[in-house]
Amino acid sequence: MTDAPPQNTKAKPESQKKPSKKGRGGMIVLEPVAGTRDFIPSDMRYRAWLFSKFHAVAKKYGFEEYDAPILESEELYKRKAGEEITQQMYNFTDKSEQQVALRPEMTPSLARLILSQGKSLLMPVKWYSIPQCWRYETTTRGRKREHYQWNMDIWGVPNVSAEAELLAAICEFFKLVGLTSQEVGIKISSRKVLETVMKGLNISSEQFAPACVIVDKLDKLQKEDVVQQLSILGISEESSLELISIMQIKDIDELSQKIGEESVAELRQLFDLVKGYGVAEYLRFDASIVRGLSYYTGVVFEAFSISRNSELSRAICGGGRYDRILTTYGAKQDTPACGFGFGDVVILEILRDLNKIPKEVSRHVVNDLVVPFNEDLRPQACKVVTMLRDAGIPAEVYLPKTKKIANTFSYAERIDADRVIMIAPDEWNAGEVKVKYMKLQPKGVGEEEKNTVGVQFAVKVDDLLNFVIPEEEMKQYERR
């Protein structure tokens, strides 16, 4: 279960809100820039938890982590005119008159890194990263102008065994966070399907890339709007309607009858492979999945929430094969590659909607609060807290002057500490400290739970690390 704050699903998109005005007397605006986020500690706990799952899956699958600058040459992202991502860039001229941009996606940076390593890089390459990406787009629930994106990419593998590995990793993540195949799913198709259909309809190769951008919006636009946008490219209404009809097919056998077995053989092989990973229940064929980026060349996929308990309809993640990206940057030959991007915003919203985030994620993990009764005993308190930390126990020393001991207990409750360890004059002279329990003592296997809230003991300093409440002393405190 989660105790994450409920989300206001009826709030206005951030792009529709009025810009913040400066406060009186020239005070700075306290809200973050529209579409961006602050991460105070309570928010960081959720982000750190999510990232730990990303890291765990990537490392389990043998991927190595990399990173690249958030600021890149603008030219790196300008592949073909008309792509939304090109229009949404945060770009500007820097002080040395260079055109630069905040990265809208990681794949071009990765391609630059692969090219820069040349023949010294042994294939296959399995790399992952969790970069922050920036796009100036309309903001709604599940969509920001900055987000973190888990990327996993495989280079040097020309067959769909690479795609199968990536799809298995995504499903591994879903299982790790408790998302079932009844709650999320991955739709799979291939750019080769769309290419075959367009050739059959005498649609030119020059029209292919911009048509992909339009067809990618089939689930967002009315059929008439798609036909109208395709007509701008010079595609007839008859061809557009036939194209839309084929792209709405959800069965590989039916598609094979329409366009031939050769165009779907690769997809059949992929679906056979994922059965071996034990994740086939998450996957389904959907010809309408084409992805909007121009560099995709083969299998493409997107993951979605399919639970009625989540109102988000945006893609959770997406990816595919992009074998020709290096030649667009000057390489002499293509290098097989595929990968995916998995944003942090949508998945956290879905996990909140479905109560999948464990309650303990919200906890500020501090086992012990060490409190000196007076300032003369602060050096001793520092000694005790250091002993605890050296033993791997998260601990704090109470930093303000201890005016009232009750205030320290309130602070201990606020930081969710398990125990308060008090350094008092008489006890310290006897080699002891006072230990007050703030929570239920965890029960061991086969043991009954002990209510230790408020229980207080004198404990030898040397025994503090291994102290267990004696059973005979516990009986007098039982509150059942």
The answer on whether 135 is annotated among ligand-binding residues is: yes
The answer on whether 296 is annotated among ligand-binding residues is: yes
Instruction: Look at phi and psi of residue 372 and say left if phi exceeds 0, alpha if psi is from -120 to 50, else beta.
Output: beta
Contact between residue 89 and residue 77 where contact means Cβ atoms under 8 Å apart:
yes
**DSSP character string of 193-218:** HHHHHHHHTT--GGGHHHHHHHHTTT
What is d(CA 8, CA 349) in angstroms, rounded to the nearest whole number?
A: 11
The answer on whether 105 is annotated among ligand-binding residues is: yes
DSSP strand pairing (283-285 vs 184-190): parallel
CA-atom Rg of the chain in angstroms:
29
The residue assigned the tokens 């010294």 is 120
The answer on whether 291 is annotated among ligand-binding residues is: yes
What is d(CA 10, CA 13) in angstroms, rounded to the nearest whole number?
A: 9
What is d(CA 259, CA 194) in angstroms, rounded to the nearest whole number?
A: 10
Closest CA to 415 of 355, 477, 358, 369: 369
DSSP strand pairing (419-423 vs 368-372): parallel
The answer on whether 449 is annotated among ligand-binding residues is: no
Neighbours of 452 (CB within 10 A): 22
DSSP state of 469: -
Q: How many CA atoms lie within 13 A of 104 on its CB side?
A: 21
The answer on whether 295 is annotated among ligand-binding residues is: yes
The answer on whether 148 is annotated among ligand-binding residues is: no
Binding-site sequence positions: 105-107, 135, 149, 153, 291, 295-296
Binding-site sequence positions for L-histidine: 105-107, 135, 149, 153, 291, 295-296
